[in-house]
């Protein structure tokens, strides 16, 4: 028999202390709303949010939850807690935000081991003092934690040069659904010990275990960075993209931006192709000059920006609009954010089709040309039936180009009534078998992946 709420609160207060247990109805409004948005509308609210301060405490909390069959919603600082599928029930929310130590930074080996509650921006500040950086650029970078980045597999434009979160991850320690602590990989680049659980847990949305510490490979900070933006018609941008992809140029980022994004960033008219070069100064200047020559040949407008950090910050504000997430949105101001993937060769034509679908709405689209992954943001969502039909059309186009579309953020009702993941393949049996191996009782983020 499940313990009563007051018994559960007393149980975990004895373990974590008064500061480690926050009643659900006393949460900060934005965190409260984020938790509600991650649960199905018919779900009872969790009793409380728990904040273990050590890995041992986290292990004990999960062990108690396992013994009492309590369903758990894991999170870090909750920046992406409402992404993806809705959780059918959560008795407890467990935050790793207080597991925030940098365990070991091996400067000579270009590796770092951190607890999962370390914030991305804080880690980059520490690494920069030694002339190094972690080569991922996730959304909500100010508050995002390492555990949340790993759980959602959220990388950005830098994946063009450095690949994904999975490729950065060398080792992991995590707490299983029964409270046992498990490890995989190691703290050196060439370590191949054990099963490659790092790749399995990356992007698992907290359904297979709760990461406690992660080891990443690092890279030296580049000497010099510049951004080149070329704008023009879809046809000429497609030609430029093709020529760049088969050239000897080595951009660290290469993104397509919709004409709406280019206009709102004040960068001109037409579709945009954004290239970032980061290396030795002479190499960067030469490659930017080559892009300028190519742009002139194709009759494209070209701009060279020296302030790369400022550009990416402005683009993040435009695409993700973090400040709006902490405000209660009216139906007239609701927005939808989707992650999508297509064949890179179809990215420009896909962008043109989206222009037709959202011709009467405010929207922004960013596609990483190397991987075909992208982000679609649609604003001023009023009629959920209309937007559901539009999203279905975009998903169909993506699937026709061997891709997908996943709803990350949206009004609650849209997720509850529609297929969030859009997956119709034949791997569900395999996913269920993996889940059974890691969480036979279905206690961690139940039903989130379905």
Tell whether the model's pLDDT for residue 317 goes beyond 70. Answer: yes
Q: Are 79 and 415 in contact (CB under 8 A)?
A: no
Average pLDDT over residues 210-229: 96
Per-residue pLDDT tens over the stretch 167-181? 999 999 999 999 999
The H or E element spanning position 297 is helix 281-297
Q: Given this model, what pLDDT does residue 196 score?
A: 79
CATH number, span 224-313:
3.30.70.3450
Beta strands 224-232 and 301-305 are antiparallel
Average pLDDT over residues 294-307: 93
The H or E element spanning position 312 is helix 308-320
CA angle 118, 120, 121 (to 5 degrees): 115
Per-residue pLDDT tens over the stretch 332-381? 568 999 999 999 999 999 999 999 999 888 999 999 999 999 999 999 88
Long-range own/partner contacts, residues 10-14 (CB < 8 A, 24 or more apart): 11/64, 12/48, 12/50, 12/61, 12/64, 12/92
CA atoms of 442 and 182, how far apart (whole Å): 18
Mean pLDDT check: name the lowest of 370-379, 380-389, 422-431.
422-431
Q: Given this model, what pLDDT does residue 316 score?
A: 94
3-class secondary-structure state, position 224:
strand
Tell whether the model's pLDDT for residue 194 goes beyond 80. Answer: no
Please tell me if the domain spanning 224-313 has the same topology as the one spanning 321-417: yes
Average pLDDT over residues 297-306: 94
5-95: CATH topology is 3.30.43
CA atoms of 410 and 341, how far apart (whole Å): 18
Tell whether the model's pLDDT for residue 118 goes beyond 60. Answer: yes
Of 79, 88, 90, 82, the residue nearest 50 (C-alpha): 90
Per-residue pLDDT tens over the stretch 15-69? 999 999 999 999 999 899 999 999 999 999 999 999 999 999 999 999 999 999 9
Average pLDDT over residues 202-213: 95
Tell whether the model's pLDDT for residue 234 goes beyond 80. Answer: yes
N-terminal to C-terminal alpha carbon distance within the chain? 27
Q: Given this model, what pLDDT does residue 191 score?
A: 54
The CB density around residue 188, as the number of other CB atoms within 10 Å, is 16
Largest CA distance in the chain: 74
Q: What percentage of residues in the chain have a pLDDT greater than 70?
A: 94
Average pLDDT over residues 413-430: 82
Average pLDDT over residues 273-295: 96
Average pLDDT over residues 138-157: 94
- What does pLDDT average to over the chain? 92
Q: Are 128 and 221 in contact (CB under 8 A)?
A: yes
pLDDT band at 193 (very low <50, low <70, confident <90, very high): low
CATH class as words, domain 102-220: alpha beta
Tell whether the model's pLDDT for residue 195 goes beyond 70. Answer: no
Average pLDDT over residues 141-146: 94
Q: Are 99 and 211 in contact (CB under 8 A)?
A: no
Report which DSSP code applies to 444: B
3-class secondary-structure state, position 438:
helix
- For the residues of 340-408, what is the DSSP string, one character each? EE--GGGHHHHHHHHHHHTTTS-EEEEEETTT-EEEEEE-----HHHHHHHHHHHHHHHHHTT-EEEEE
Mean pLDDT check: name the lowest of 3-7, 45-49, 309-313.
3-7
Average pLDDT over residues 71-91: 94
pLDDT band at 324 (very low <50, low <70, confident <90, very high): low
User: Reading across the β-sheet that carries 169-175, which strands appear in turn?
Assistant: 102-106, 111-115, 210-217, 169-175, 181-185
Q: Given this model, what pLDDT does residue 330 score?
A: 53
Q: What are phi and psi of 179, to 5 degrees?
A: 95, -10
CA angle 41, 73, 143 (to 5 degrees): 105
Beta strands 336-341 and 373-378 are antiparallel
Structure tokens that stand for 419 in this block: 């297929």
Q: Given this model, what pLDDT does residue 408 score?
A: 95
Domain boundaries, the chain: 5-95, 102-220, 224-313, 321-417
State the residue for tokens 């070069």: 277
CATH number, span 321-417:
3.30.70.260
pTM recorded for the entire structure: 0.93
Structure tokens that stand for 346 in this block: 């179809």
């Amino acid at each position: 028999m499940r313990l009563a709420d007051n018994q559960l609160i007393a149980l975990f207060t004895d373990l974590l202390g008064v500061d480690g247990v926050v009643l659900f109805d006393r949460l900060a409004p934005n965190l409260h709303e984020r938790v509600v948005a991650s649960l199905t509308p018919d779900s009872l609210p969790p009793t409380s949010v728990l904040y273990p301060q050590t890995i041992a405490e986290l292990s004990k909390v999960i062990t108690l939850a396992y013994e009492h069959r309590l369903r758990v919603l894991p999170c870090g600082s909750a920046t992406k807690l409402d992404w993806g599928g809705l959780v059918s029930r959560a008795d407890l929310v467990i935050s790793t935000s207080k597991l925030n130590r940098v365990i070991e930074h091996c400067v000579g080996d270009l590796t770092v081991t951190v607890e999962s509650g370390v914030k991305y921006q804080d880690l980059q500040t520490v690494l920069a003092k030694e002339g190094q950086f972690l080569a991922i650029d996730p959304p909500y970078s100010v508050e995002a934690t390492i555990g949340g980045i790993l759980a959602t597999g959220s990388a950005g434009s830098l994946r063009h040069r450095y690949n994904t979160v999975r490729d950065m991850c060398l080792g992991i320690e995590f707490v299983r659904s029964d409270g046992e602590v498990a490890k995989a990989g190691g703290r050196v680049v060439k370590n191949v010990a054990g099963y490659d659980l790092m790749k399995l847990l990356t992007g698992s949305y907290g359904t297979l275990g709760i990461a406690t510490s992660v080891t990443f490979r690092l890279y030296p900070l580049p000497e010099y960075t510049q951004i080149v933006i070329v704008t023009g018609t879809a046809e000429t941008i497609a030609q430029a993209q093709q020529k760049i992809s088969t050239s000897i140029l080595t951009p660290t980022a290469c993104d397509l931006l919709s004409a709406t994004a280019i206009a709102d960033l004040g960068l001109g008219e037409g579709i945009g192709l954004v290239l970032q070069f980061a290396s030795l100064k002479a190499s960067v200047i030469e490659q930017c000059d080559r892009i300028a020559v190519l742009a002139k040949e194709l009759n494209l407008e070209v701009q060279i920006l020296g302030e790369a950090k400022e550009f990416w910050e402005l683009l993040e504000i435009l695409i993700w609009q973090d400040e709006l997430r902490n405000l209660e949105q009216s139906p007239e101001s609701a927005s939808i954010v989707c992650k999508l993937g297509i064949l890179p060769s179809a990215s420009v034509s896909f962008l043109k089709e989206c222009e037709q679908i959202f011709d009467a709405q405010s929207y922004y689209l960013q596609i990483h040309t190397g991987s075909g992954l992208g982000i679609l943001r649609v604003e001023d969502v009023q009629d959920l039936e209309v937007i559901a039909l539009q999203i279905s059309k975009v998903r169909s186009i993506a699937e026709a180009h061997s891709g997908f579309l996943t709803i990350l953020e949206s009004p609650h009702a849209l997720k509850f009534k529609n297929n969030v993941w859009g997956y119709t393949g034949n791997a569900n049996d395999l996913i269920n078998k993996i889940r059974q191996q890691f969480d036979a009782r279905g206690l961690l983020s139940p039903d989130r992946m379905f």
